[in-house]
Amino acid sequence: MEDLPASLAERLRELTYNERALAYLQIDAALVLAGAGGHLENYGLAAMRLGEPAVEQAFFLEGLLPLEETPYFVPSVEIDCGRAADLHFHLEGDTTWVVLFDVTAYRDATRRLQQKAYEMTLLQEKEAQLNRRLEEMNRELEASNDFLVRISTKISHYLAPQIFKSIFSGQKDVTIHTERKELTIFFSDIKDFTATTEGLQPEEITHLLNEYFTEMSAIALEHGGTVDKFIGDALVIFFGDPETMGTMEDARACLNMATHMQRRLAELNVKWRSAGTEQPFRVRMGINTGFCNVGNFGSADRMDYTAIGAEVNLAARLQAIAEPGHVVISYETYALVRDIVAARALPPISVKGINRTVVPYVVEGVLDKAGRKIEIFSEHMTGLDFYLDPRAVDAAAIERIRTTLRNAIAALDGRGGEDTPGGVARPDQESSPPKANDKAM
Amino acid sequence: MTAVLQKKICMLGGFSVGKTSLVQRYVHSVFSETYLTTVGVKIDKKTVTLPDRTVNLILWDLAGEDDINSLRMTNLRGAAGCVLVADGTRPSTLDVALSLRQRVEAEYGPLPFVLLLNKSDLKEQWAISDADVAGVRENGWWVQTSSARTGEGVEDAFMDLAVRTAG
């Protein structure tokens, strides 16, 4: 210090003693306060009593005395008063000196910086934590979504695809609610199903029926039909809900579906016959168009999406009067499809719940665009699998077909009046259906 | 004059785990929602009356450990015990507390300590699993959840430490 110019020495004294509020404690070997001075009041130490234990008066000294190393420094210490001090300890013989410098301004500046940095870090931590939580939630969501998709896929097999779609897209509410709509309803039933499958094992019947329903449902879907339900071997399909193409188009689609089904059934019968099924499936079909109630029926816990009403019953009735392998439609349907079918009126019938006289029409064939009847010949019974669609025949094969048919007729003629195998003709086989019925669509 | 029994206790833990708030709750029975970071050390005194004696706990509330501030090991000179604090909503702070304990033990040997999993009032944000807590307890350590806001676990922790350091 002596080397310093007087002005600088004075400034240093000013800086340390006044501006940094220098204070000191002098502690003897017995840890008794031997002296104290400077700006003690700045640190709340104004009442220090000389001759008394130092640690009891300045509790921040607890654990630090006697000094284990010298010098010893504790930076930025805040004692009761709220001010921060750097504590400098050093030993001189048996005397411990403690020098306090006020660093409150420095502490406050550091705190501001540190506070900003910590708040930033906390925000980043929070963000990372939120992101983790978000990812976790996303994973959970994906898992529940996968689960829902699996479940809904399972459920979808119990519902018509259109109904499933309209429910799962939120278009339809799952509440007891019905609407009055003009529908075309289709009923089909396998003629003498029990007798036909008599010789088969239950597993074979199940397999056969499942294949039949799978094939028929696919055709229904292809034509825009809503498969309502399977009742034993019967099939109920409607057109016009949940999606409609207009009453006329719905009716035409239904009729086209029915003829498509009959064609496919002929093919299936060939396949089943070659697989060992003795009797072919012969299906009667009924179609009607009219206003029905369609929607959810049942209880709030267990509902069925279906159509009900007298017009639905009429479709079932028309199916019952149809000959096996044929389609019977009501006049209401016929009026909508007359330009695409050849049909013949049957005697009027009356149906409970329907006030008008119902005239059924048996479909004899489908008309092409020029109004010509497209004839398809189909007959299946023990000893005969016959299906002929003249339009589908290759020109080169025509002669071969003619020969086969001629030979077949000659063979039948040669057989003359022999008994049918087993001696007794089955009712299905013995009476040939009305002439028109020899031709399916 | 009878010498008053005084014990230096250091508060240790990561930043913003609630060391200052725990001391404020314990010494002054107050809690502030405002977070104010500690620079250096803040020293407080709390007089504890035990059945057979009175102890002054001299609480050194040390600046939190983090990337900016590494613990000044010399600040622990003369400490009789430690309160390790972790923030139950930030699992990483439990690791910080456990690593601090290790470093202190390496420098000063085994010291009585308690471990507080603080901010137990923030139940929805709680992120330290029971399994983690059980794992720490297996070492025979005194572990407790605490809340400077509600006061839960605070008095117990300091009292336990007072008994163990004064014994």
The whole-angstrom separation of Cα A149 and Cα A426 is 51
Sequence-separated (6 or more) residues with CB below 8 Å from residue B35: A115, A118, A119, B16
pLDDT tens per residue, chain A (441 residues)? 678 899 999 999 999 899 999 999 999 999 999 999 999 999 999 999 999 999 999 999 999 999 999 999 999 999 877 899 999 999 999 999 999 999 999 999 999 999 999 999 999 988 998 898 899 999 999 999 999 889 988 888 888 888 888 888 877 777 777 889 999 999 999 988 877 777 788 888 888 889 999 999 999 999 999 999 998 889 999 999 888 999 999 999 999 999 999 889 888 888 887 777 777 788 999 999 999 999 888 887 888 889 999 999 999 999 999 998 899 999 999 999 999 999 999 999 988 888 888 999 999 888 877 777 777 777 767 777 777 878 778 888 899 999 999 999 999 988 865 544 443 333 343 333 333 334 444
Closest Cβ–Cβ partner in B7, B56, B77 for A64: B77
Go through the domains of chain B in sequence order and give each one's CATH number: 5-166 (3.40.50.300)
Res A165: pLDDT: 83
A144 CA: distance to closest CA in chain B (Å): 23
Characterize the bridge pairing of strands A33-38 and A23-27: antiparallel
Instruction: Choose between B38 and A422: higher pLDDT.
Output: B38
Res A416: pLDDT: 65
A87 CA: distance to closest CA in chain B (Å): 11
The whole-angstrom separation of Cα B156 and Cα B146 is 9
Does A138 reach chain B within 8 Å, measured CB to CB?
no
Closest Cβ–Cβ partner in B15, B36, B79 for A63: B79
**Chain B window 37-56: which residues touch A at a Cβ cutoff of 8 Å?**
37, 39-45, 56
Q: Would you call B74 and A72 a contact, using CB atoms and an 8 Å cutoff?
A: yes
* Per-residue pLDDT at B153 exceeds 60: yes
Q: Yes or no: say if B83 and B44 are a contact pair by the CB < 8 Å rule.
A: no
Q: Taking the model in full, what pTM does it have?
A: 0.59
Q: Would you call A110 and B45 a contact, using CB atoms and an 8 Å cutoff?
A: no
Packing angle between helix B92-108 and helix B130-137, nearest 10 degrees?
Answer: 10
Q: Would you call B42 and A78 a contact, using CB atoms and an 8 Å cutoff?
A: yes
Res B13: pLDDT: 95
Contacts of A128 in chain B (CB under 8 A): none
Go through the domains of chain A in sequence order and give each one's CATH number: 6-102 (3.30.450.20), 167-401+428-440 (3.30.70.1230)
Q: Would you call A110 and B3 a contact, using CB atoms and an 8 Å cutoff?
A: no
- Nearest 10 degrees: CA dihedral of B97, B101, B104, B109? 170
Contacts of B66 in chain A (CB under 8 A): 118, 121
User: Which residue, among B16, B15, B32, has the nearest Cα to B148 in the 3D structure?
Assistant: B32
Does B16 reach chain A within 8 Å, measured CB to CB?
yes
